[in-house]
């Protein structure tokens, strides 16, 4: 029986600082081609949006990111032809009527 190759998942935690700003840990998530990224938050009923900067685009196979539940977002696998280096993106966390943003990056490594 052939073994199925398991794709690695990286987790990015989104939380609020005491001053009300967003914190993303890790700020620069390190991935390899084929990895997936899951962004999560403990903020109840929060909606997470991920938008990659137009200049470099997205390293992921699909343009859209899926949302398994309200407090998390799951990416498609990193493309096999994704260029190595950093891809800047914006996280928008919407909770109630408030929206807060932060600009971390995804670092595609060899």
- Does residue 79 sit within a domain? yes
Segments forming the whole domain that contains residue 89 = 9-108
Share of the chain above pLDDT 90, in %: 66
- pTM, two decimals, is 0.87
Per-residue pLDDT, averaged over 28-39, amounts to 96
Average pLDDT, the chain: 89
- Does residue 104 sit within a domain? yes
pLDDT at residue number 1: 45
Give how many domains the chain has, as a whole number.
1
- The CATH number that applies at residue 17 is 2.60.40.420
Per-residue pLDDT, averaged over 5-27, amounts to 89
The tokens describing 86, both together, are 């950093």
- Does residue 3 sit within a domain? no
- Does residue 92 sit within a domain? yes
pLDDT at residue 88 above 70?
yes
- Does residue 47 sit within a domain? yes
């Amino acid at each position: 029986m052939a073994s199925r190759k398991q794709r690695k998942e990286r987790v990015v935690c989104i939380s609020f600082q005491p001053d009300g700003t967003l914190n993303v840990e890790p700020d620069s998530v390190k991935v390899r081609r084929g990895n997936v990224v899951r962004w999560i938050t403990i903020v109840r009923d929060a909606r997470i949006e991920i938008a990659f900067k137009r200049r470099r685009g997205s390293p992921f196979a699909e343009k859209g990111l899926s949302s398994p539940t309200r407090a998390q977002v799951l990416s498609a696998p990193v493309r096999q032809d994704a260029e190595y280096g950093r891809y800047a993106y914006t996280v928008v966390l919407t909770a109630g009527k408030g929206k807060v943003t932060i600009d971390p990056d995804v670092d595609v490594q060899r």
